[in-house]
């Protein structure tokens, strides 16, 4: 899983902040992501490595390979990632908008489904262990 994917997952899972081991797990993920970017293994990321990462990201976004990234290609990538992560094509606003008015109140947001957490919580005990989180991220990675 690339650094961008891990970052998006971390942002999309605010419920993980309540898990006591989330800090250590995030640090470990960040270290692995850094190691993938630090391709020469010198413990630092230089401009050449950043350029290589940006090239890779551009190639992934350029779905038709024409050398141009359109808004449609970006939206397609976002939708596919959202589907892999949540199991739904709905945007976060659509998922939380209980009354369908196109707006999300605080109450709607707080009471909305948590599809990522629910999918990651394999035994449905309301807690996310490191093993469950690791398994979930592996499933998301495998569904690429």
Angle value at C-alpha 63, between 37 and 4, nearest 5 degrees: 30
pTM of this structure: 0.50
| Mean residue pLDDT across the chain | 80
pLDDT of residue 10: 52
Q: By the 8 A CB rule, do 88 and 115 touch? A: yes
pLDDT of residue 16: 47
Residue-wise pLDDT tens digits, 18-71: 444 455 555 666 678 788 888 999 988 889 998 999 999 899 899 899 999 999
Angle value at C-alpha 58, between 4 and 87, nearest 5 degrees: 50
How far is it, in rounded angstroms, from Cα 22 to Cα 115? 18
The yes-or-no verdict on residue 127 having pLDDT over 80 is yes
Higher confidence at residue 72 or residue 83?
Answer: 72
């Amino acid at each position: 899983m690339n650094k961008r994917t891990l970052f998006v997952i971390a942002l999309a899972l605010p419920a993980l902040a309540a898990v006591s081991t989330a800090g250590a797990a995030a640090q470990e993920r960040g270290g692995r992501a850094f190691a993938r970017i630090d391709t020469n293994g010198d413990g630092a990321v230089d401009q050449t490595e950043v350029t290589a990462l940006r090239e890779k990201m551009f190639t992934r976004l350029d779905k038709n390979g024409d050398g141009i990234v359109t808004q449609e290609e970006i939206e397609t990538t976002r939708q596919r990632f959202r589907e892999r992560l949540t199991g739904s094509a709905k945007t976060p606003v659509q998922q939380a908008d209980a009354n369908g008015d196109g707006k999300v109140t605080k109450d709607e947001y707080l009471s909305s489904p948590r599809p990522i957490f629910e999918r990651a919580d394999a035994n449905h005990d309301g807690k996310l262990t490191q093993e469950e989180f690791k398994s979930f991220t592996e499933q998301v990675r495998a569904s690429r």
